[in-house]
Structures are given as structure tokens and as C-alpha cells.
Amino acid sequence: MKEKYEVVWENCLAIIKDNIPTKAYNTWFKPIKPIKIQDDILTIQVPSQFFYEWLEERYIGILKRTIKREMGVNGKLEYSIIMDSSNKNNIATIITPAQQPEHIFNNPVNVGNRMREKIHNPFVIPGIEKVKIDSNLNKSYTFENFIEGDCNRLARSAGWAVAENPGGTSFNPLMVYGKVGLGKTHLAHAIGLELKRRFPDKIVVYVSSEKFTHQFVDAVRNNSINDFSHFYQMIDVLIIDDVQFLTGKERTQDVFFHIFNHLHQNKKQIILTADKAPVEMQGIEQRLLSRFKWGLSADIQAPDLDTRIKILHRKMYSDGIELPPEVVEYLAYSISVNIRELEGALISLLAQASLNNKQITLDLAKSMIDKFVKNTAREVSIDYIQKVVCDYFDLPIELLKSKTRKREVVQARQIAMFFSKKLTKSSLAKIGQHCGGKDHATVLHACRTVNNLSETDKGFRKYLQDLEKKFVI
């Protein structure tokens, strides 16, 4: 027997399906799950904030009409959004009244601040029982979904070791550090999830350092600092994300210091992430920093091209998306410094294609990336320059990176060096390394040669102009 909410939602879908392009329907409506009906409110679950905003922006009209038709004038729609970095218990809910066509939200609180997040404050649960503690782990951030590459191998395997033997390795604390968008939070969750899988009875808590700070401030206000400390001292595995946000917060650092000591003495596992290595952190007390260095600090670097392509494939696989290989390559070539941006580009591309009912082609990807990346200080990568130059001269990229001194290859290599110098912030030495292991003097010489030739040789100048067009938007 189907539940009422399922039937109602199915009826809505039947109407919606007839009224919008199939592709859009598959992209934006199929993944929605109906959850319940209560007091004339139908709750549907959407996979992300982005999804919700997209629905509100594009489909609110049709949603309202169908809800009204199926549920009567009092029918309302509530979204349950699976929040990033949280599990199902940490959802945001937003109510959209179907009877107010002009105003999307009837709750004035929601107008400015759309999200009404249900924040769990674990230590206020009366008579804490182990089972009730919310680990706050995001189920999709698994090890399986975390692609391994040179950029993260150490951090990943240390994380795995910790998950196998929490508190029992010398990696305590395990500190994972690296720039934004490179997978620290993902890895931190993966460790927590794997730990929970192996040791279901262990109390694992993931908390961002901001939330930790807020909880502490609340505890001070409510006179419940003891409860706060007590809560954190009784857990088995503490994962604190982005500890750099404790900078300058002396009282929070102080209470964290004591919690840290207590856990460490009792052989409980501590996992931390930060945007820089402990030695470079400022505004964190020395005694805390020195403890951060007790275990292992492992960094995560920007992924290489191969790893970026694998990450995109993984993401496409889990979202059930198919893209032509040249589009995947193009995305991976163009966005090199931040995996979150890479994923964002993929989502925008899907949105573009479904909105305009277009095929996802290389041209669409190019025009989208141009818009998408322009504002975020786009930097063309050396990899990308080499690829474009090689495509242009129809040379295999391996030759360009080799030591061969064949004339055509030398010329292409010099041009790649010239554009790398011009368009990236890379040092001469780094450019040289990427182009067949040359030294910085060779790169400098290449740049001069290209400049000279462009002044004297018309044909050569044409090459440069053609290529330049491909790089500059």
C-alpha cells in the first residue's frame, strides 16, 4: 500500500512531467523524495541547497499550481534539504505556502534568511545516552568516494589507519591541512564514517570549530560549561574541522585545551583539519599548537590533472550523469586549484543544459566555464596551455614534455613556455619542469626567442595570435 504522501506526490509529478521538458523533469524532479504529509503540508526532500534554490527560481509556479490542485487551497510545500556537512538529522526546512502566489515565503523570518536550520546541541540532551549522540557525519563523504592521488595519499592513508585503530596509532592527533576546497572536510567525514562502521559503539563526533565555539558561548550564557566539557570529554573520537577559526578566541581555546588533554590522556582519537600547517598558524596559543604537532600533520595538495578527471568521473557516476569525454577533460583542464569549484562547474553545466534544453557539448562547456570562472580569478594552467598548443600543432603532448630537440617540437615547446610565463603565475623553474625538465634559463631564452620571432616572422606571429585567442576570453 502506498502512503498518502506518495500518492499525492506521484499525482503532482504526473502533471509536472506533462508541462516541462523531459530533461528538466529528469534532472530536477526525479531525485526528489516525498517524505510526509502533515497538517496540509507536503514535505519533499531535495539533495542540496542548490537544488532547492533552483526549484524555487524556476519551478515555483508549477509546483504551487499542482500542490493546490492536489491538496486544496491550504496545501503547502515544505522542503527538507540535506545540508552539506551534516547528516539527515541536520536538515533545513522551508515552507512555501501554495495560496500566496506573490510571496514565496509567508514567514517573515525566512525572507531575509531563507534557511531555518535545526541545529542540534548535543550536550543539552537530558541524561546523555550513547545512542542518542549525533555524530553529524555526512553519509556521502565516504572513503569510497574520496579519490586517491599523489596530492592526498599520505593524509588518506593516515586517515585510514586511524579509522582502523582509533587512539592506537601514533597519529594522535591526526592533523589534515591544506587550502580550501581540496577535500579536508570530506576526508574528516570519511574517517568518522569508517570508524563508525568498524566500531558502532564508539562515540564519534564531528564538529566544525565554529559550531564548537558557538556551543561554548551558549554554554557560558546558560551557565552550563560543565555540561559542555563533560560532553566532549566522554566521547571516543573527536573530529574538529577548520581549527584555524579558533584564532583569537582565547576562552574557547582554553576549554579546548583541557578537552584535548583529557581525551589524549585517555587514548581517545582526535582528528583536526586546518587551512595551514600548525607551524604557520597564528593567533592560536602555543601550548595548543605544540599539541597539534604531537601526532601526524599531513597535507593535502591541489590534485593533478589525472586525479581531477577521476574525481569528475566519480561524481558523475554517483549522480548518474554522462558527459562526453572531451567535456570532462576540458573541465578538469580549466579548473585546477579547487575541487569544490570543479564540482560547481559540473553542476552549472548540467543546469545550463537542462534549462535551455541543450546537449552538453564542448562549446557549451566552454562558454559556461568562461562565465563561471571569470570572477574567480581564473588562471590558465600550464597543463591546459600545453594541451592547446599541442592540439594546434597536432603534436602528442608526451613529445612536448620530452627532451627531444626536433625543430617543430622545440618551437611548440617554446611557445608553450612563452604562454605559461605570460598567462600563469608560475615561476620560470616550474614552467621548465613541466616542459621536459628544463631549467629556468632555458625558459627565459624561450620567451626571448618567441618575442623576437613574433617581431620578425609573420607566419609565426599568426600562430601566436591564433593561440592567444584560444586562451584569452
Which residues contribute to the site for ligand ADP (CB under 6 A)?
Answer: 145-147, 152, 178, 180-186, 311, 314, 339-340, 343
Q: Could you tell me the smallest distance in angstroms from the CB atom of residue 178 to Mg ion?
A: 10
90 in Cβ contact with 118 (< 8 Å): yes
- For Mg ion, the closer CB: 184 or 421: 184
- The label of the residue with cell 504529509 reads 37
Q: Could you tell me the smallest distance in angstroms from the CB atom of residue 49 to ligand ADP?
A: 13
Q: Provide the residue type at 225 as one letter.
A: I
- Under rule CB under 5 A, residue 152 binds Mg ion: no
Q: Could you tell me the smallest distance in angstroms from the CB atom of residue 85 to Mg ion?
A: 7
The cell numbers describing 203, all together, are 562515540
Q: Could you tell me the smallest distance in angstroms from the CB atom of residue 150 to Mg ion?
A: 21
167 in Cβ contact with 295 (< 8 Å): no
181's contact among Mg ion, ligand ADP, none, with CB below 5 to 8 A by partner kind, is: ligand ADP
- Cα Rg of the chain, angstroms: 27
- For ligand ADP, the closer CB: 339 or 415: 339
Q: What beta strand segments (E) does 109-194 contain? A: 174-178
394: left (phi over 0), alpha (psi -120 to 50) or beta: left
Of 184-203, binders to Mg ion (CB under 5 A) are: 185
Of 181-189, 231-239, 316-324, 369-377: span binding Mg ion (CB under 5 A): 181-189
Q: Could you tell me the smallest distance in angstroms from the CB atom of residue 151 to ligand ADP?
A: 8
- For ligand ADP, the closer CB: 307 or 442: 307
- Residue 165, burial from CB neighbour count under 10 angstroms (0-12, 13-18, 19+): middle
Q: Could you tell me the smallest distance in angstroms from the CB atom of residue 280 to Mg ion?
A: 17
- For ligand ADP, the closer CB: 67 or 281: 281
343's contact among ligand ADP, Mg ion, none, with CB below 5 to 8 A by partner kind, is: ligand ADP
Residue nearest ligand ADP by beta-carbon distance: 183
421's contact among Mg ion, ligand ADP, none, with CB below 5 to 8 A by partner kind, is: none
End-to-end, the C-alpha distance of the chain in Å comes to 57
- For Mg ion, the closer CB: 90 or 185: 185
Q: What is the DSSP letter of 377?
A: T
- For Mg ion, the closer CB: 185 or 213: 185
CA distance 361 to 363: 5
Q: Could you tell me the smallest distance in angstroms from the CB atom of residue 185 to Mg ion?
A: 3
CA distance 187 to 401: 33
Its sign, for the CA torsion 349, 351, 352, 358, is positive
Q: Could you tell me the smallest distance in angstroms from the CB atom of residue 328 to ligand ADP?
A: 14
Q: From residue 384, how far is each of 94, 332, 375 by CA, in Å?
A: 43, 9, 19
- For ligand ADP, the closer CB: 12 or 195: 195
Angle at 309 between CA 307 and CA 312, to 5 degrees: 110
- The label of the residue with cell 502533471 reads 15
Q: Could you tell me the smallest distance in angstroms from the CB atom of residue 184 to ligand ADP?
A: 3
174: β partners: 271, 296
- Residue 248, burial from CB neighbour count under 10 angstroms (0-12, 13-18, 19+): exposed
Nearest to 210 by CA among 256, 262, 158: 256
- For ligand ADP, the closer CB: 211 or 401: 211
- For Mg ion, the closer CB: 135 or 381: 135
Its sign, for the CA torsion 77, 78, 84, 87, is negative
362's contact among ligand ADP, Mg ion, none, with CB below 5 to 8 A by partner kind, is: none
Residue nearest Mg ion by beta-carbon distance: 185
- Which residues here bind Mg ion, judged by CB under 5 A? 185
